[in-house]
Amino acid sequence: MYKNVNELAAVVRKAVETTVITDVHTHLSPPSHGDSLLWGADEILTYHYLVAELFTVAPRSLTYEKFWAMPKTAQADLVWEHLFLKRGALSEAARGAITTFNRLGLDVAKRDLAGIRKWFAEQKIEDYLPKVLELANVDYAVMSNSPYSAGEVGFWQQDLPVPECLKAALRIDSIARAWDSVAPTIAQAGYDVKPEPDEKTFDEVRRFLLDWSGRINPMYFAVSFGPDFAYPDDSLCTQIIDRAIVPAAVETGVPFALMIGARGNVNPNLKSAGCGVAVADVMTLTRLLQKHPEAKFLVTMLSRDNQHELTVLARKFGNLHVFGCWWFCNNPSIIDEMTRQRLEMLGTAFTCQHSDARVLDQLIYKWGHTRKIVADVLVDKYSDLFNAGWRPTEKEIKRDVRAIFGGSFEEFLNK
């Protein structure tokens, strides 16, 4: 048992450092799915966060067309030159690459990108995947699996091996937001659906979701909505949610995950790096929760301005679980603020972070950085409790840390 507040702080820090994390949202893939699992120096350096940053400083002579026509190594060279050598790698994403290389044992002080690339070229993914999971101390990461992108569907149909450390999630943005763009693909897969939906179509979309659930056993169904997401309204999206997605989610017992607030294509020239953020209307989510008490909802929002209202909402509905500091919120100052706010209103009934890793190696820095911030926050909270006379045991501290790093998520899934 610790004797004073400093010793308590050491116990809390150790618990945060050693707790195994469940990463509830990533874009990773099984190694058996061709080259869809991204990893290595060039993927790290061409992460879309860094590409967007590159274009804030690149000379005008570097046009988007030129950049996108380049091979990945040349793109990575440009990011390295402009953000790491000509400037100080101070952004969160740039620092993330440094942390990652460093934790892998590479001497970043040498600034030797060729040497770093050589080291990665010597790795074998079969050994490298478990090594990264171990360094990040993550038990499993939830993927984002599309039931209609041709390549991915083919992989799932072959029933290729998926390691225990990767779990599926069914990503169905186009079903909810761009039905006519996927209707022909779903029809071709043997479902009686129409681009202009008739009565039968909704039942068939439900059947499609149930079939895919049987095939990949998803942890949840997920859709990213823009800040203008409105519910209910007279759109097809409302009908698809009410008549296909929610019924399928309830029938399978999996939550419906909504990621709200990404403003698509603010600068289309940046491709996947071109989205922005805007404040969404939390009342939309409130109405969804009021309408569907039978379903479970996992929600993250992109705008910092939405976080307080969202946290309050999670206190009102036991079928809402908030997670992560998403994308533009995944910065130390905002993670600190959001984690405090959530602890102060929800106790441990939330998931403090997800990595959103698109590149395997990013698990190392995203979780390394988050652990440090969460440790600082928890030390403050436990110190306040200590000063008020409360004496949490080490076991209780570990339990609570695990709760916000995946324990509460799993409890919510089993609820």
Q: Which residues are near Zn ion by CB under 5 A?
A: 356
Site string for ligand RAT, 234-263 (x = CB under 6 A): -------------------------x----
- Are 350 and 322 spatial neighbours (Cβ–Cβ below 8 Å)? yes
Of the two residues 243 and 271, which places its CB atom closer to ligand RAT in the complex? 271
Rounded Cα–Cα distance for residues 158 and 301 (Å)? 35
Q: Taking CB under 6 A as the rule, does residue 224 contact ligand RAT? A: yes
- Are 54 and 79 spatial neighbours (Cβ–Cβ below 8 Å)? yes
Q: Report which secondary-structure segment, H or E, holds 177.
A: helix 173-177
Compute the CA torsion angle 32, 33, 39, 40 (nearest 10 deg): 70
Look-up: residue for tokens 């289309």?
Answer: 268
Q: Are strands 166-167 and 256-260 parallel, antiparallel or unpaired?
A: unpaired
Of the two residues 177 and 358, which places its CB atom closer to ligand RAT in the complex? 358
Among residues 33, 358, 369, 398, which is the contact residue for ligand RAT, using CB under 6 A? 358
Number of residues that bind ligand RAT (CB under 6 A): 8
Of the two residues 267 and 272, which places its CB atom closer to ligand RAT in the complex? 272
- For ligand RAT, the binding residues in 10-29 under the rule CB under 6 A are 27
224: partner contacted, choices Zn ion, ligand RAT, none (Cβ within 5-8 A by kind): ligand RAT
Q: Taking CB under 6 A as the rule, does residue 356 contact ligand RAT? A: yes
Of the two residues 224 and 351, which places its CB atom closer to ligand RAT in the complex? 224
327: partner contacted, choices ligand RAT, Zn ion, none (Cβ within 5-8 A by kind): ligand RAT
- For ligand RAT, the binding residues in 111-150 under the rule CB under 6 A are 144
Token digits for 367?
């979780």
The candidate with the shortest Cα–Cα distance to 2, out of 357, 268, 392, 278, is: 392
Q: How far is the CB of 88 from ligand RAT (least distance, A)?
A: 24
E strand intervals along 32-181: 138-142, 166-167, 170-171
CA distances from 63 to 56, 137, 184, 258, 340 (A): 12, 40, 36, 35, 42
358: partner contacted, choices Zn ion, ligand RAT, none (Cβ within 5-8 A by kind): ligand RAT
Q: How far is the CB of 195 from Zn ion (least distance, A)?
A: 27
- Are 320 and 415 spatial neighbours (Cβ–Cβ below 8 Å)? no
Residues near ligand RAT (CB under 6 A): 27, 144, 224, 259, 272, 327, 356, 358
